[in-house]
Amino acid sequence: MDGSPVRKDAPEDLAPRSSTRLIDEGAALRASLLQELPEIPARYLYDDTGSELFERITGLSVYYQTRTEISILERAAADIVAHARPRHLVELGSGAGRKIRILLDALRADGPSVTCTMLDINELFLLQSIDRLSADYPEFVFRGVVGNFMTDLGRLGPAGGRLVVFFAGTVGNLHPDERRSFLGDLAQRMDDADALLLGVDLVKDPARLEAAYDDPEGVTAAFNLNVLSVLNRRFAGNFDTSAFRHRAFYDRKNAWIEMRLVATRKNEVRLDALGLRLAFDKGAEIRTELSCKFTRASLEASAGEAGLTIDRWYTDPADLFALALVRRRRS
């Protein structure tokens, strides 16, 4: 790796999370677990096991999103690079870093040398993907940030000539109010020369959507149940995963998929680090993820609330998924 800056610039924020931040996090989790419909924020799904399971989900036949987004990106990459002309690439929730390669190949073919900042909540995945990318693209400079795209946008470097990419439909995992503040925060940090590339899953036949979140192989069920083990480990809990089952359904009114865990028998849970005791009757539910689905109009409306607008729209022939190149609305 000599010459590549990566090893010298280990991902920032390796410093342990401040105690205040841990207390706030604990308090936020406590509050969401005490809601009428108890909820576990989706970011807890992505520990090492969860990130591995998600990688497996992306290869499932029912989970069309990943391969469809890749096929759109392969066809649109040159046009995106020509339109955005980025000097800095910033990827939010970079995961295994597969898709960014398609943009890097297009930039390698026709673009200026760029810096590439990868942000992910999972440090191990981040380090691994940066190592691989630096080896395969030595002409580009890579930087890693361990963080959360809801709270760490301020650490993504200066505005001007940035293409911020948010793939996989992950923007859909935000509650509409969270999405509003996220897009608003991002828009504040963008200038007219910046662009945002958003991958969004499109509204479609509910049966197809529900199948994508409840695969017969049981990988999504394992991905969902794993969050209980994450809470046990992080917050000294005693969730018994065998007392819960996976459920996924499409809410037409809100145009989102919900993942939930359903208690299969009456059970009690302690989370000692939160000073919490929870009692679940048989059939009681915990919400673990939302996955909002969009149309071009609903995304334009959401972007518009943040002073953004869709500049380019790329879909697959079956309109399963889309990539939207979004910019600040000219005043």
Binding site for ligand AVJ (CB under 6 A): 57, 65, 168-170, 172-173, 213, 220, 289, 291
The SS3 assignment for 316 reads coil
Structure tokens at 168: 């996989």
Q: How far is the CB of 15 from ligand AVJ (least distance, A)?
A: 27
Q: List % helix, strand, coil for the chain (3-state, nearest 5).
A: 40, 25, 35
CA distance 250 to 244: 20
Min dist CB 173 to ligand AVJ, Å, is 5
Q: Which residue has the tokens 């400079």?
A: 141
Rounded Cα gap, residues 67 and 59, in angstroms: 8
Which residue, 97 or 172, has its beta carbon nearer to ligand AVJ? 172
Based on CB atoms, which residue is closest to ligand AVJ, 73 or 168?
168
Question: Is the dihedral angle over the CA atoms 77, 130, 224, 236 positive or is it negative?
Answer: negative
Does residue 153 contact residue 186 with C-beta atoms inside 8 Å?
Answer: yes
Min dist CB 74 to ligand AVJ, Å, is 18
Query: At residue 312, what are phi and psi to the nearest 5 degrees?
Result: -135, 145
For the CB of residue 195, give the shortest distance to ligand AVJ in the complex, in Å. 21
Helix, coil or strand: residue 277: strand
Q: How far is the CB of 313 from ligand AVJ (least distance, A)?
A: 19
Q: Who's near 18: CB < 8 A, 6+ residues apart?
A: none
**Alpha carbons 240 and 219: distance in angstroms, whole number:** 18
- Strand partners of residue 308: 328
State the minimum distance, in angstroms, from the CB of residue 293 to ligand AVJ: 10
Q: Where are the alpha helices (DSSP H) in the chain?
A: 19-33, 48-57, 65-84, 100-110, 123-136, 176-188, 206-212, 219-235, 296-305
Task: Calculate Rg over the CA atoms of the chain.
Answer: 20
Q: Which residues lie closer than 8 Å to 239 by C-beta, 6 or more apart?
A: 228, 229, 231, 232, 269
Nearest approach, Cβ of residue 170 and ligand AVJ (Å) = 4
Residue 208 CB, shortest distance to ligand AVJ, in Å, is: 13
Q: Which is nearer to ligand AVJ, 93 or 111 (CB)?
A: 93
Nearer to ligand AVJ, 81 or 118 (CB): 118
